[in-house]
Structure 1
Amino acid sequence: MKGVQLVLVLGGATFVGGFLYFFHKRRSRRRSLRELSKPPKDNWQYVGTLEEIIMYPIKSCGGIELQEVLCEKSGIKFGHLKDRQFILVNEDDKPMFAGAQPEMLKIKPKLINDDEIEVTAPGMDPLILNVHQLSEGRKEVIKAFGKSSTRLVECDSYFGNWFSKFLFKKETAVKLFMMSNNLKNILFRKNWKPNPYMVLVNESIMDLKDRLPNTIHHWQFRGNFVINNSQLPAFSEDSWKWMRIGNEAIFQYKAPCYRCILVNVDPFTAERSPDFEPLRTLKKYRMKPGQIEPEMGIYFNLYKEGSVKLGDEVFVVI
């Protein structure tokens, strides 16, 4: 009997010890992961200056060049206006994409003030989008696009019909949604994903241009930030792990930007390249084994909020 008790005691002690060891290892691993996710205090290298800031208020439509913006986890913010704040949804309840509907690039936003834009398109009267008026009296809805979902406000049909008339020459084919201004509601959704910041480096753009038979414009790559430094080797940004712009905003590397057919569309005429450029050239030298799309530019997630302005110095950790 005593032998049985001894076995039980030893077994229990072994179980408790194993549990405590497992718990300790898990806590240590979590602590290590937290430490790895923090930017280092040293080893920051100067790589250039911020040359352009571009915000795209309506997803897959034209952009607005800005002098200074606030960087938040939900993306670039200017007053109450945000990057990709508005989304056009088709009759199949899917977000519209300029790669499939190039005419969307002819829809041009213009800044009126910090909560209002004017939207123009060929043959259409200007449309005013005011973020406060659009949300007034409208209920938020949860929309799921792919694996992520967020809270949006469905704008009055008058606004969706404006886009529908231009793109499809008929009414009711398009709905306009606006991102919720209640950032707290967005951030605490488990499957909400922050908008990444797309960064281009001028030297990499020039390297690509030198390989092409015809000229292109860097707006075809729809970057939020363009960084310039004539001393940088082309595509040196591939190795950046952290980025700081100015004295406040810090960003952490997320992923390369894999390019699709959208880069073949001229952002000014909305015409596709008959030569499948620049995607064809990118595929010759910017694809790794196993990839089906070439890389151009990099995505960063925001680590620390802050304001950035043109001319700010840019530092990175490799």
Structure 2
Amino acid sequence: MLRLSALYRYPLKSGKAETLAHIGLDKLGLDGDRRWMLVDEASGRFLTQRAVAQMSQLSALWSASGGLTLSGTGRPTLEVALPGADAELRGVTIWRDTLRVPDAGDEAARWVSDFIGKPTRLVQVPLERARTTAAGYGKDDDQVAFADGFPLLLIGQASLDDLSQRIGRPMEMLRFRPNLVIEGSEAFAEDGWKRIRIGDVELRVVKSCSRCILTTIDPATGERSADRQPLATLETYRKEPDGVMFGQNLVNDGVGRLEIGMPVTILE
């Protein structure tokens, strides 16, 4: 039987993961997932572990009010409130998208600037300012917060086990930053799924996920693998014209609640 075996949320894009037992979903995916982002103060360009590896060590915990609790080694904890209706809007760029979103204020900016080592701002995206997903995939009204392209990422546990066996050492699931992990399927079975149901929530599988250098960063230490693993091995058997693929991007149809252990049904 297929079942949901792990749930992860990333309140801050490219920050540490939160491991969850249960969570609700809204139109943008898991409640609170990647609703916050760091941007370069001058350009408004988004920052991630691809260029700033120490972001893997930045903890940003979601609060019930929608705010964040920021913490990091050797840094004081900072409570950041959800920006109000009168918050300053800042122009930001994430991949090819440009948008104006609420800025978290100067105190938060000082904290993240000290952590990153250069002038940085913390921003948040409310539902009404969310982006649309990549053209050509899914439906025209599908939306996403600050995730790269789609609200949810799913990986089969057997797919990671297959990769670890090929490499010769276990790989951490969090290198791939999934939201949903499924047990009970064959390796890479998720490549052939089109629609699934978890509990009462239906989800559409819209696109394979292309992987980058971020997967070579150890989520526990923030250090890059000297041997470029697991990307080097993935390139030998998972390379396609659009990139090195591992995991599937999903969009949830409607809202609901997910809980570890829920059965997963393949609808199509």
The normalised TM-score by structure 1 is: 0.74
Deviations 1:266-316 (A, max 9, x none): 00100000000000000111113x34x211100011222211111111111
- Aligned pair count? 256
Residue 75 (structure 1) aligns with: 29
Residue 30 (structure 1) aligns with: none
**Contact 1:61 1:108 (8 Å CA) reproduced:** yes
Aligned: 1:286 with 2:238? yes
What is the SS of the residue equivalent to 2:2? strand
What is the distance in 1 between the residues matched to 2:73 and 2:59? 10
Matches within 5 A, 1:121-160: 121-131=72-82, 134-135=83-84, 137-141=86-90, 143-160=92-109
What is the SS of the residue equivalent to 2:154? strand
Higher Cα Rg, which structure: 1
Specify which of 176, 196, 221 is matched with residue 221 of structure 1. Answer: 176
What is the distance in 2 between the residues matched to 1:69 and 1:234? 26
Residue 174 (structure 1) aligns with: 120
Query: Sequence identity, in percent?
Result: 25
Cα–Cα, structure 1 residues 257 and 164, in superposed 2: closer, same or farther, change >3 Å?
same
What is the SS of the residue equivalent to 2:234? helix
What is the SS of the residue equivalent to 2:228? coil
Aligned: 1:244 with 2:197? yes
Cα–Cα, structure 1 residues 300 and 268, in superposed 2: closer, same or farther, change >3 Å?
same
Residue 147 (structure 2) aligns with: none
Aligned: 1:63 with 2:17? yes
Cα deviation for residue 224 of structure 1 reads 0.4
What is the SS of the residue equivalent to 1:125? strand
5+ residue gaps, structure 1: 1-46
Which structure has greater strand proportion? 2
What is the distance in 1 between the residues matched to 2:63 and 2:48? 25
What is the distance in 2 between the residues matched to 1:147 and 1:116? 27
Residue 270 (structure 1) aligns with: 222
**Contact 1:149 1:191 (8 Å CA) reproduced:** no
The normalised TM-score by structure 2 is: 0.87
Q: Which amino acid aligns with 2:159?
A: S
Cα deviation for residue 163 of structure 1 reads 1.2
Specify which of 79, 94, 97 is matched with residue 45 of structure 2. Answer: 94
